[in-house]
Structure 1
Amino acid sequence: MSKKLKLTVYDAAEDLCTEAMIRTFMAEAFETKEPGYVAHALGVAIRARAMKKDRAPGRSTLAAENLAD
């Protein structure tokens, strides 16, 4: 009998909380010299910066511009 694996979704952007972490992440992506990976990493970095902006003090995550119909 085989065991079923339960997989979870991991979003690296959630763990890139500082500019230094984002810079390191991108530097390591460029070291791979793989265009596809660099493009993916760039998307992750952009998402991380957007998340960081949303977590800024005084900014509500329930702001009207964040709610989509």
Structure 2
Amino acid sequence: MACDRLRFALRSPLRQLRQREYTGGVIIVTGSHDEDTLDEAWALGPQEVIGKPIDLERLLTSIQLVLVCREC
């Protein structure tokens, strides 16, 4: 049941962004380590999925990559 709530929580905001034709980068930060949930998160099309605890260097690198790719 908790996984279903997490999947909905991931899908709903991203679905709304896609419906509004948002084309910018998306980074998902999640505390879930459930493989199915992580696979579903990747299927939604983010540039990065980062698990908790957050590695700040990885987060910074991901943000920089999203910003660079946005300019391409």
TM-score (norm 1): 0.35
| Pair member with larger Rg | 1
